[in-house]
Amino acid sequence: MLIRVFIRKLAGLIAFLLLASVLIFLIVDVLPGDPAALMLGTDARPDTLQALRHQLGLDQPLVVQYASWIIGLLHFDFGTSMTYATPVLTLITERLPVSLPLAVMSLALTAMIAIPLGALSAHHHGLTLDRVIKNGLQLALALPNIWLALLLIMIFAVGLHWLPAGGFAGWKSGVIAFKSLLLPLLALAIPQAAILARTVRAEIRDKAQENFVLGARARGLSENDILWHHILPNAMLPVLSVMGLQFAFLIAGTVIIETVFSLPGLGRLIFQSITQRDLPVIKGVAMLLVGSVILVNQAVDLLAALIDPRLRRQSGAFL
């Protein structure tokens, strides 16, 4: 059974990645008309246009263009940037050491804030503490992460001078590197943690009504024991799938928050390439972002099936 789930998720991964690549190719290369004219602007000379078309392979049939792009991707060849004249993959890998830790650490921080807070709130449900947490979460949920970032800069960088307001000196700088990522991490994680904590709270409240909790209580286990060892593990599965969905938000959020803090990550690369109309970079980064969301979500599904055998039976979606 488990191996079948694995094969299905793998097939889903491949199918979704292929579909995403076709869509990205169509939207970026085909729908706008002539990418060469788009990149060079309206007053380009016809012979330069022709030369660029040839360089980009635009004089070939669409199927050939797509095939050469996708075969390149399979060889980790994302094409060459027009503005930097360097391979897109190099540009991406230079920026990943900022963006990847930021995305992964913000997801981890989200869970680290949300799970205890949600559990605490559910444990004290109906009491003042629960109400305070619940209303706090409702407020935090509505905070735009950009604004939160600016407020954090005002307080901790401009006001208290504890942390840098932006920039990144590279991981070699050690503690300074961590310090410059701290505010971006908080700005990303706090609103998402509010969403996740609400899920944690609701799931714990839901699972607390189940018979196994009654059974544990009848056996004389302490309420703390029941919460941490019986309810929480059972409530984690839906929490996991919400986290999978949040990863997409955090990826997008990372790109935006990086520009707020002028971090040299994928955010800066992609917004530069939008203004420069550097289509190979746009395609490459979009494929990377979408691909990583697909990968994480298929992995979460697989993990869920691994934890809960009931989820191994096929139902709902194909893949």
Nearest to 21 by CA among 65, 88, 75, 66: 66
- The alpha carbon dihedral of 145, 147, 150, 155 has a sign of negative
Return the range that interacts with another protein (CB under 8 A); candidates 40-48, 84-92, 110-118, 269-277.
269-277
**Residues 208-227: x where in contact with another protein by CB under 8 A, - otherwise, as a string:** xx----x--x----------
Q: Tokens 């996740």 sit at which residue?
A: 196
Kindly tell me which of 105 and 216 has the beta carbon lying closer to another protein: 216
**Residues 292-311: x where in contact with another protein by CB under 8 A, - otherwise, as a string:** -xx--x--------------
Residues 16-45 within binding reach of another protein (CB under 8 A): 16, 19-20, 24, 27-28, 31-32, 38
Q: Minimum CB separation from another protein for residue 127, in Å?
A: 12
Q: Minimum CB separation from another protein for residue 174, in Å?
A: 27
Burial (CB < 10 A; 0-12, 13-18, 19+), residue 238, is: middle
Kindly tell me which of 32 and 167 has the beta carbon lying closer to another protein: 32
Taking the C-alpha atoms of residue 242 and residue 300, their distance in angstroms, rounded to an integer, is 10
Near another protein by CB under 8 A: residue from 1, 90, 129, 144: 144
Rama region for 167: left / alpha / beta (φ>0; ψ in -120 to 50; rest): left
63 binds another protein, rule: CB under 8 A:
no
Nearest to 304 by CA among 231, 229, 239, 232: 239
192 binds another protein, rule: CB under 8 A:
no
58 binds another protein, rule: CB under 8 A:
no
Taking the C-alpha atoms of residue 190 and residue 212, their distance in angstroms, rounded to an integer, is 33
Taking the C-alpha atoms of residue 20 and residue 69, their distance in angstroms, rounded to an integer, is 13
Q: Minimum CB separation from another protein for residue 299, in Å?
A: 13
Near another protein by CB under 8 A: residue from 270, 302, 304, 305: 270
Nearest to 254 by CA among 306, 303, 292, 298: 292
Phi, psi of 89 (to 5 degrees): -60, -40
Return the range that interacts with another protein (CB under 8 A); candidates 50-58, 65-73, 147-155, 181-189.
147-155
- How would DSSP label each residue in 147-182? HHHHHHIIIIIIIS--S-SS----GGGTHHHHHHHH
193 binds another protein, rule: CB under 8 A:
no
Residues contributing to the site for another protein (CB under 8 A): 12, 16, 19-20, 24, 27-28, 31-32, 38, 126, 138-139, 141-147, 150-151, 153-154, 158, 202, 205, 208-209, 214, 217, 245, 248-249, 251-253, 255-256, 259-260, 270-271, 274, 277, 279, 282, 285-286, 289-290, 293-294, 297, 315-319
